[in-house]
Each structure stands twice: as C-alpha cells, then as structure tokens.
Amino acid sequence: MRNKSRRSSRWTNQPDINLNAFLDLVLNILLFFVFATELAVFEAIDVSVPITEYSDTLSRQRQALIIFITKDNQYLADGEKMPIANLAGWLSQKKQSDDTLNTVIVRGDLNSSLQATVDVLGACRMAGIEKVKIETEKPST
C-alpha cells in the first residue's frame, strides 16, 4: 500500500474558483452608476450654453462649484434656486466650509442676459473666489 505524504498536493483536490463573471458584473454595475450620476446632474437643468471654437472641454473639475443661469435669468447653485442677493453670502459660507473650493463654473443659458452673468461674477468676487470660468461648447462639425 502506498502512503499518502502530507507534503504532496498531488492527491488533494483544490477547488477552482472562477471570478471572471463576478468581476464583470461588478465593473458593469460600477460603470452604470458612474455614468448615471454624471448625466443626472446636467440633464435635470435645461441650459444651452454658448458655442465657440475656443471652448475648453475639460472645464468640469472635481473641486469646482457649478452655478446655472437659466433662460429666465434664474440662478441655481447646488441644484437650488437662489436669489442673486443671497449668492455672495452663500458662496462665502461654502468657501469657509470647504478650503479646497477655489473655482466656480458659470453655466449660463445662451438666451440669458449678460447682466445675470455679470451679477454672478460680482458675487464670486465678493466671496473671494479666485477662479471663475464660463462654460461653453465647441460647435458641432
């Protein structure tokens, strides 16, 4: 009779676990949520931004706050309607609570007034925001 040695793994069966299907599922779910949250923010507010050939397509930064100006000259900051009189104070509070906040992106509608954009720029200056960008789009070819 043969004795089975304890060191030999030739006689023992190790279970084979295939994780490929599980990893595919996890990555697909992760990608779905990443794209769903990205689209949910920008499609909820109907704003058609101005078009220029010199547009910077990388204007969405992680530490940037986006202020929307609708075609009716209403201001939306963090998804909430805000009167222009309260915007400078609200921006100051945001900046004090978040030290990394130094950029504001103004996403104004093409049909909004220039005065509405100037009011937002003034509120940003009063709040001490150093970088303000106006979002535009490149023309479709």
Helices 114-127 and 84-97 pack at an angle, to 10 degrees, of 40
Contact 133, 104 (CB under 8 A): yes
pLDDT digit string (tens) for 60-100? 555 788 899 998 999 998 888 999 999 999 999 998 988 88
Q: What's the Cα-to-Cα distance from 102 to each of 37, 47, 97, 113, rounded to whole Å?
A: 23, 23, 12, 25
Q: What is the pLDDT along the chain (141 residues), one digit of tens a residue?
A: 555 555 555 666 777 778 888 899 999 999 988 877 766 555 456 666 676 776 665 545 557 888 999 989 999 988 889 999 999 999 999 989 888 888 899 988 888 898 999 999 999 999 988 888 888 777 776
What does the pLDDT read at residue 59? 45
